[in-house]
Structures are given as structure tokens and as C-alpha cells.
């Protein structure tokens, strides 16, 4: 017997969803893939082809450069604010204010 959950709406509530009992859902499931299984020669060849593309190397290099540049510019003041305030005699808040204004 098939019952749709849209069949009857009573006072704004839907009846609980029911499923066909005679259908084996395992039949429609995808087979499990090995997560850490050994890569075959075809998979290795595909990766070599991807890494041999000069555009892939350029994108990787630019991505690593961007991450490094943003990381150093963001965390640089947090590391150097103490020595800057000691050398100049300014308060740490004033040093952070200068970074914020710039």
C-alpha cells in the first residue's frame, strides 16, 4: 500500500510520511567506495596529468602566496604591537588604532 504524505492535510498538519514496505531500499544504494584504498595506475596517471598542467602549478603557487600574505599582514600586528608600543612609548590601543586607520 502506498500512502502519500500529501494525501490528507488536517488543520495544517500533514500525516506522518510512510514508505512502501515492499521495496528494498538497499537495491538503490550506491556501492561503498574504499576511502583509503590503493590508487590504481589510471588514477595516478590522471593526477600526473593534472599536476603537469602549468595552470595548476600557477594556481597552487598563487593560492599559497595569498594565504601567506594575508596571514602575515593579519597576524603581524598582533605579534609586533608589544615591541612597537615599548619602543615608541605609545599605548597598545594607539598602535592598533594606527593600524585600523591605515
Contact 89, 82 (CB under 8 A): no
Does residue 48 sit in helix, strand or coil?
helix
Positive or negative: CA dihedral 41, 43, 45, 47: negative
As a whole number of angstroms, the longest Cα–Cα distance in the chain is: 82
**Distance, first Cα to last Cα, the chain:** 70
Partners of 10 in beta bridges: 13
pLDDT one-digit tens code per residue, 41-93: 888 888 888 888 889 889 999 999 999 998 888 888 888 999 999 999 999 99
pLDDT one-digit tens code per residue, 4-54: 544 455 555 555 555 566 666 666 677 766 666 566 788 888 888 888 888
Amino acid at each position: 500500500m502506498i500512502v502519500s504524505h500529501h494525501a490528507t492535510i488536517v488543520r495544517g498538519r500533514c500525516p506522518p510520511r510512510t514508505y512502501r514496505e515492499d521495496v528494498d531500499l538497499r537495491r538503490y544504494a550506491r556501492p561503498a567506495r574504499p576511502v583509503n584504498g590503493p590508487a590504481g595506475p589510471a588514477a595516478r596517471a590522471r593526477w600526473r596529468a593534472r599536476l603537469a598542467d602549468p595552470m595548476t602549478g600557477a594556481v597552487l603557487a598563487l593560492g599559497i602566496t595569498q594565504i601567506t600574505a594575508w596571514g602575515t599582514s593579519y597576524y603581524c600586528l598582533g605579534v609586533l604591537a608589544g615591541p612597537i608600543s615599548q619602543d615608541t612609548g605609545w599605548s597598545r590601543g594607539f598602535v592598533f588604532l594606527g593600524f585600523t586607520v591605515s
